[in-house]
Structure 1
Amino acid sequence: MAAASRGGRVISTFLRDPSRTCSWCANSNQWRSQRFYSSNPTSPSIQPPTPGVSDPSADILSPPVTQQTREPYRIKSGIILTRPPLLTRELTPFESAFFLYQKRLNERLAAPFRKAFYFRPDTPAALDWQLKRRERRGVAARDIGRYNPRGRTGWDDEVLVGSPLSDPAVVVERLVQDAELRVSEDGEEIPEEDRVKVERPLPRRTEADEKGDTRRLDRLLDRTLYLVVRKGEKDPWQFPSGDVLTSEALHETAARILAESAGVNMNTWIVGRVPVAHVITDPVYKPDSTLQKRGEKTFFLKGRIMAGQADLADNAHGLTDFQWLSREELQELLPGAYFRGVRNMMADR
């Protein structure tokens, strides 16, 4: 910036005194230091500079301060808090039959069982193994059925889709029966009524699934759940969100809103500082084109819950209810435009 001209008169600038501060630059730096994406109205004393207009109080060209106008949109930030799947999904009938086929191939080709490597002769464990293997007609694997890899049917590895052997419940039952100890320390077979029962695995469906309790986190264990809240029975369900303050970034607002809405008794983690989705609500204007109601631009960040539970007691946003729902349940519950704005960040399961 060597010189500036107004009305044919050249005004000297930094070439004469480099230590002096340009008023246009000072206003520009002050403008850049503000967070004008916040929901709060901008201070009238700090305005964006207008190039080409001089400041009468300065000896160089500088932009004047214009009158602040009310922005038609409020900027909000929210969090899409998720609970990831705790179980793998259920296998399809084809996948179950395929994995049984693979286990039979492994029994015949890749991993022949060596008894001497696992059991010492004439020990209770070896006697227990021999007893169970005789009942399986010499098959080492516990869950591949009446299949002898060394007999005449050794190459008959195919399994029909829908076979009982490929049913996960049948596989669990076979493994539980095989884990039951049937030989005592004295080498004697234990009567059935005296055997110690093996603890069975918990079912995939929980009590919350049976009761349809959508507030609990121990439901739909093989799906991703999302936290949604609402203020009243007639208000729509939505993700926790709130206004962005001038002194906050989007991720800082999301963390604050989550604590104010669902309490601090949760161990959560906000994944990154970049929004993963956004929803826009258009402003409402009066017939004379004046602004009646400001619109909203809500930017959502993604979060994970690792422990704890949501607690709406004494929340700062007047929330009265919350739910942990899957993607399909959210599609039925959320407003159409709202769901379309966030659906692309949701997991398939």
Structure 2
Amino acid sequence: MPSSPYMCRPKAILQAILQGRGEAPVASHYTYSLFRRYSVSASPPNEPLPSASNGSLPFTLQATIVLARAPLLTASPKKFESEYYAYQARLHRALSQPFPADFYFKKGSLLERRFNAEERAREQVTFGDGFGISTKLDDIPSDEEALRLQPRETDADKTNNVRDLNRQGERTLYLLVKSSKASGTWEFPTWEAGTTQPLHTSVQEALTASLGPNMNIWMIGRQPIDVLDTDARKTFFFKARILGGKPEIHSNSFEDFAWLAKEEVQDHVNPAYWTHIDSLLPRV
């Protein structure tokens, strides 16, 4: 079969078609994909291609960033999980060989008495009172201050400060912004995109310009994870993680922002928007 310079190259084919029609090519990779949908898949054979003169599109092209903060803490075990782990701990201690303390610790030393005290505490937790090696604990230095754990509930949880990234440590949080328009709707940060650069670059620049440069952002990929397709607007969703910092509103388009868990996002956005983004957000 003779080879063709345009074989398996839809972008080059579209370039040639546009130049043959006397129209300017479009730079964005995602715009090529949109034109390919119109020219190859969606349009009837006799329907003309959408105009690409001066990089214009027959619809509004938008980019949305789904900015998430990963969980900071492991999830609290459920009742069944706690009982399972306790049973496994009892089983392990009952079947395991005794620890040779006399081999590792000098008889009567502080380290031996400290180990015996800790072992007794572990035996009591596992099997209850009456188990464990008896030892005098009065002269053993306490490690209570060094071993004290921080509470899982932070000040942001107590005050319900939705602007603080330290809230809801066990959950994934998502950045939502409130529009400054009269509708005052909550949604993911969204901006109109041009046709002169890739969308993943455009959304990063818009994020920095609108919510400040004080956020360390990692874009998970260059490809969108979803698209909200209507007759007048096409919105591409890009996924990102925040590694540090905090947003600061530098745009008149946004009035407020919040870090919300999935069920809180549902309470803030309108039902039609939630129906579309529900599958994009994990339950954790």
Structure-1 separation of matches of 2:238 and 2:219: 7
Alignment counterpart, residue 228 of structure 1, candidates 176, 180, 183: 176
Q: Does 1:301 align with 2:267?
A: no
* Contact 2:62–2:235 (Cα < 8 Å) also in 1: yes
Q: State the identity as a percent.
A: 31
Structure-2 separation of matches of 1:197 and 1:149: 22
Partner of 1:76: 62
Partner of 2:269: 334
Structure 2 unaligned residues grouped into runs of 5+: 1-15, 32-38, 40-47
Partner of 2:19: 27
Letter in 1 for 2:19: N
Letter in 2 for 1:230: K
Residue 26 of structure 1 deviates from its aligned partner by: 8.2
Partner of 1:263: 212
Residue 111 of structure 1 deviates from its aligned partner by: 5.3
* Contact 2:156–2:164 (Cα < 8 Å) also in 1: yes
Question: How many pairs does the alignment contain?
Answer: 246
Deviation per CA, 1:7-59: give whole Å up to 9, x if none: xxxxxxxxxxxxxxxxx778249858414766xxxxxxxxx9xxxxxxxxxxx
* Contact 1:78–1:257 (Cα < 8 Å) also in 2: no
Larger mean CA deviation between 82-91 and 229-238 belongs to 229-238
Deviation per CA, 1:153-194: give whole Å up to 9, x if none: xxxxxxxxxxxxxxxxxxxxxxxxxxxx946xxxxx25xxx8
1:182–1:74 CA distance, 2 compared to 1 (3 A): same
Deviation per CA, 1:294-342: give whole Å up to 9, x if none: x221111000000100111xx2453121000010001111111212222
* Contact 1:260–1:317 (Cα < 8 Å) also in 2: no
Alignment counterpart, residue 346 of structure 1, candidates 267, 281, 284: 281
* Contact 1:80–1:303 (Cα < 8 Å) also in 2: yes
Partner of 1:90: 76
Partner of 1:146: 128
Structure-2 separation of matches of 1:96 and 1:327: 25
Alignment counterpart, residue 212 of structure 1, candidates 152, 156, 160: 160
Structure-2 separation of matches of 1:94 and 1:73: 53
Partner of 1:124: 110
Partner of 1:198: 145
Letter in 2 for 1:259: T
Return the index of the structure with the highest Cα Rg: 1
Partner of 1:105: 91
Partner of 1:246: 195
Letter in 2 for 1:79: I
Q: TM-score scaled by structure 2?
A: 0.75
Structure-2 separation of matches of 1:345 and 1:224: 12
Structure-2 separation of matches of 1:255 and 1:308: 15
- Provide the secondary structure at the position in 1 that maps to 2:66: strand
1:216–1:146 CA distance, 2 compared to 1 (3 A): same
* Contact 2:123–2:131 (Cα < 8 Å) also in 1: no
Q: Does 1:325 align with 2:260?
A: yes
Q: TM-score scaled by structure 1?
A: 0.62
Residue 203 of structure 1 deviates from its aligned partner by: 1.1
Alignment counterpart, residue 278 of structure 1, candidates 227, 235, 256: 227
Structure-1 separation of matches of 2:21 and 2:90: 73
Structure-2 separation of matches of 1:115 and 1:128: 11
* Contact 1:78–1:300 (Cα < 8 Å) also in 2: yes
Structure-2 separation of matches of 1:130 and 1:27: 84
Partner of 2:248: 311
- Provide the secondary structure at the position in 2 that maps to 1:320: strand
If asked which structure has higher relative contact order (CA below 8 Å, sep 6+), I would say 2
- Provide the secondary structure at the position in 2 that maps to 1:332: helix
* Contact 2:105–2:111 (Cα < 8 Å) also in 1: yes
RMSD: 3.4
* Contact 1:279–1:299 (Cα < 8 Å) also in 2: yes
* Contact 1:119–1:126 (Cα < 8 Å) also in 2: yes
Structure 1 unaligned residues grouped into runs of 5+: 1-23, 39-47, 49-62, 151-180, 184-188, 283-294
Q: Choose between structure 1 and 2: higher helix proportion.
A: 2
